[in-house]
Amino acid sequence: MQENRASVRQELFRRIRIVLEMIKFEHTLFALPFALMAMLLASRDYPAVGNRFPSLRIFALIVLACYAARSAAMAFNRLADIDQDRENPRTRNRALVTGLLAPRFVWAFVLFHIALFIAAAYALNRLAFELSPIALLILLGYSYVKRFSWTTHFVLGVALGIAPVGAWIAVRGSFDPRPMVLSLAVLLWTAGFDIIYACQDYAFDMSKGIHSIPARFGIAPALVTSAILHLFAWLAILAFAGMTGSGPLFLVGIILVGALLIYEHRIVKSDDLSKVGVAFFNVNGVVGLLLLCCFLADLLIR
């Protein structure tokens, strides 16, 4: 009996790992810290949510909405790309391609997380609920943009960039220019690192007519474009700091992020893409967390 229970647990954990790998759960670190920064800013000096910090309920609903939206989008992207993934050497071992996950299961996963996102938006406030279909349209629509336009990187940037504005709306139920500047920074930053990521599929994209900036303009110009986007993303974060009256700790974080972005572009070269994985996740995975920690520390010392 105990052996059977152990076997069931092992199989359950194996299936969970497969699903988490499918949605690249660890990449949640990209947009979520910026959403939490906007949440903290919206809660500051706003009596409706308490003294400087949001309630546990609002925090949990924002995290749940971010998780659900991103999970639905990633799973939907796997369904949309299944034929391409079968042919691409880099992606042909994905769970949906190999049969480890069935399309029916993935569709159910998508629909469940769409419902979860809408439910979280409804529980937050009316404006969040009314805008939730637009957010889903952007998140799910991204999967098809690369079939007809090299602007796909910017659409992905919009998909992640709506997180700060969404978090502000979740707290206050209104719009404000400050989270919009932060959203612009996320848009530019995301487009920049997605261009770097797309460089590794240059040959495949060219052969299959898939649109991307590397496929349209070449790898070297694409990397220059990525660097320019990251420069403007950094400037947007600096502008956000100025608009929010941030203190020295957040400015230290911004300086460190600038150093990380410079490092990212130094290790990825047009004739050597071996460090794309390090640049894409290791470096960019730290950017949001670093800024969030410094922003929170800056709030705490005021």
Of 112, 42, 29, which is closest to residue 285 (Cα–Cα)? 29
pLDDT at position 277 is: 84
Residue that is written with structure tokens 């000096």 in the block: 45
Q: Is 213 exposed, middle or buried (0-12, 13-18, 19+ CB in 10 A)?
A: buried
The topology under which CATH files domain 25-300 is: Tetracycline Repressor; domain 2 (1.10.357)
Instruction: Considering only CA atoms, give the Rg of the chain.
Output: 20
pLDDT at position 25 is: 74
pLDDT at position 6 is: 63
pLDDT tens-digit profile of 51-67?
A: 568 899 999 999 999 99
pLDDT at position 86 is: 94
Residue that is written with structure tokens 């939206």 in the block: 69
DSSP-derived letter for residue 100 is S
Of 96, 76, 77, which is closest to residue 86 (Cα–Cα)? 96
Which stretches of the chain score pLDDT less than 70?
Answer: 1-8, 45-52
pLDDT at position 281 is: 79
How far apart are the C-alpha atoms of 175 and 74, rounded to whole Å? 27
- Beta-sheet strands, E only, within the chain: none
pTM of the predicted structure, to 2 decimals: 0.93
